[in-house]
Amino acid sequence: MDLARPIDLARQLVSELYPDARAAWLGGSVARGDATPTSDLDITVLQDGPALRKSIEYGGWPVELFVHTEKSLRYFADKDQARRQPTMMRLVGESVVLLDTDGSGARLQQDFLAEVAAGPRPLTADELSLLRYTITDLLEDLASAVGDVQLAIKSVLWQEAARLLLTGSGHWSGTGKGLLRELTTYDVAHGTNHAGALLDGVRASDARLVTAVDNILASHGGRLFAGFELTADI
């Protein structure tokens, strides 16, 4: 894809719709260079207020707009940190700067890029136990499942196993295609093929998914049922 047109179009949109913006960034698949025919323009705008998200069409492109103040950017980045899914941090950090009137565009881009590079906080003991228990329970359900029920369990199981692998190893997680992208990045960095093994297992009619999941569990204490316990202060 020729990046010049979507970048120019994104700049034109910001100039037209947000003339008082302090900064703006184009992130997502277009900025990464892996856009498809159905990709949209993910544009984050920094202004004094108010914060909002909306979807529009502009210049023949679907556009996702994320309009923020510095306070709201930090709020959503903190939510990203809590769930270990760096959506906002990547939208700004891994971006093309469209507008930067006061230096905040480059500053925030670098700040969020550094947070992405630093990775998420480690799993707590309770978080690790809950993931192991959840996956163990899914494996037990899968053992007696057939037909559509089996497919539904598999579709959840590979994702939970991927989250355990990633977050248990100090890597970011995600959802949907974002989770697969994070898992593939992990594989490239570590010379593994967990993404292929998990998805091959989902498609297969034998025990390949169980094997792939147990291989991930083995690195984090194995299956967990007996002795699992969580407490809550209510």
Higher local confidence (pLDDT), 191 or 38: 191
- Residue 177 in any domain: the answer is yes
Residue 32 and residue 49 in one domain = yes
- Residue 90 in any domain: the answer is yes
Q: What is the mean pLDDT of residues 60-65?
A: 95
For CA atoms 51, 171, 202, 150, the dihedral sign is negative
Residue 68 and residue 149 in one domain = no
Residue 14 and residue 97 in one domain = yes
Full domain range(s) for residue 95: 4-118
Q: What is the pLDDT of residue 39?
A: 87
- Residue 234 in any domain: the answer is no
Check whether 80 has a pLDDT greater than 80: yes
Q: What is the pLDDT of residue 190?
A: 97
Amino acid letter, 25 = W
Residue 126: enclosing H or E segment and its boundaries?
A: helix 125-143
Rounded distance between C-alpha atoms, residue 215 and residue 161, angstroms? 10
- Residue 230 in any domain: the answer is no
Q: Which residues contact 190 (CB under 8 A, 6 or more apart)?
A: none
| Residue 166: band (very low, low, confident or very high) from pLDDT cuts 50, 70, 90 | very high
Residue 109 and residue 134 in one domain = no
Higher local confidence (pLDDT), 86 or 233: 86
Distances (CA, A) of 217 to 119, 136, 198: 21, 9, 13
- Provide the number of structural domains found in the chain: 2
Q: What is the mean pLDDT of residues 225-232?
A: 90
Q: What is the pLDDT of residue 146?
A: 95
Residue 86 and residue 10 in one domain = yes
The 8-class DSSP code of residue 103 comes to: S
Q: What is the mean pLDDT of residues 88-100?
A: 97
Q: What is the mean pLDDT of residues 99-114?
A: 98
Residue 112 and residue 149 in one domain = no
- Residue 232 in any domain: the answer is no
What is the distance, to the nearest Å, from the Cα of residue 66 to the centroid of all Cα atoms in its chain?
A: 16
% of residues, the chain, pLDDT over 90: 91
- Residue 225 in any domain: the answer is no
Amino acid letter, 12 = Q
Q: Domain containing 47 — which CATH number?
A: 3.30.460.10
- Residue 145 in any domain: the answer is yes
